[in-house]
Amino acid sequence: MIDLKGKTAIVTGGSLGIGTAIATKLASLGANVAINFRKHDAEAKAVVENCEKLGVKSLAVKADVASFDDAQKMVAQVCDHLGGLQILVCNAGINWDGVSWKMTEEQWDKVIEVNLKGYFNYCRAAIPVFREQAYGKIVNVTSINGIRGKFGQSNYAASKGGIIGFTKTLARELGSKNINVNAVAPGLIETEMVAQMPEEAKNKSLQEIVMARLGQPEEVANVVAFFASDASRHVTGQVLNVDGGQLIA
């Protein structure tokens, strides 16, 4: 059984969807959990309350993942208020779709800034803490579309593919310091983002899934929990698809 008692985790984008499921799962396993939010104040407060009901300490910090300074300040605040940091889950992301010949510079820059630079910002803030204590778990949430590409998502696919390269590089750089770095690549998961998809696009994606159903946020959270635990102590630089076979269809 996975036991995260005595550990503290940051989950970016923890106020909604997959991030909420991850935060709640880690708390259920005994970890103190901090999440960031930018505009979903009520949802972030609810996540903290639910985590605290599980008997752990929890904290919500208003911080923009695209801000280098916000990431530095949040990591310092978490270390001060929750007594350290052992787990970082980078999950916050957005999409702003459009075919490449119509995509604006703003669409490209914003998605890359949040989805890719945001991961760098939090890893850059946490890594010195992990190196000093010679222990850390970094789990990056990417997407199968970062592996295969997706029509109309050149910015999103580029950001998610970049996360994979970033993950593997960090694994090489940090392994000697007992820091594991892995990634989880969800397919079509039942979240707010997927609910906003046009029905035609959603049905087409469903036809790709060999298990013939949408994934649930909790199913992604279960894999993240494994990577965040010492059960995965000899696993690093890996990307595990949680997609019901969507990528192999």
Neighbouring-strand partners of residue 153: 98
Length of the chain: 249
**Residue 196: predicted pLDDT:** 81
In a domain, 202, yes or no: no
Residues 6 or more apart from 173 whose CB is under 8 A from it? Answer: none
Domains in the chain: how many in total? 1
**Residue 23: predicted pLDDT:** 98
In a domain, 109, yes or no: yes
Residue 225: which CATH number? Answer: 3.40.50.720
pTM: 0.97
In a domain, 166, yes or no: yes
Hey, which residues are catalytic here?
156
In a domain, 105, yes or no: yes
In a domain, 3, yes or no: no
Q: Where are the alpha helices (DSSP H) in the chain?
A: 17-28, 41-53, 68-82, 105-112, 118-133, 145-148, 154-174, 192-195, 199-206, 217-228
Query: What's the gap between Cα 77 and its chain centre?
Result: 20
**Residue 245: predicted pLDDT:** 97
Torsion of CA 132, 181, 13, 75, to 10 degrees: 0
* In contact, 51 and 33? CB cutoff 8 Å: yes
For residues 242 and 164, give the distance between their C-alpha atoms in angstroms, rounded to a whole number. 15
In a domain, 130, yes or no: yes
| 45-78 pLDDT tens trace | 999 999 999 999 999 999 999 999 999 999 999 9
Q: Could you give the C-alpha distances from 149 to 18, 114, 157, 158, in angstroms and in order?
A: 21, 18, 5, 8
**Residue 48: predicted pLDDT:** 98
Cβ-in-10-Å burial (0-12, 13-18, 19+) of 106 comes to: exposed
DSSP state of 84: -
**Residue 249: predicted pLDDT:** 56
Residue numbers of the chain with a pLDDT score lower than 70: 249
**Residue 241: predicted pLDDT:** 98
75: containing domain = 8-187+217-241
| 93-128 pLDDT tens trace | 999 999 999 999 999 999 999 999 999 999 999 999
∠ CA(29), CA(31), CA(35), 5° rounding? 120
In a domain, 203, yes or no: no
In a domain, 163, yes or no: yes
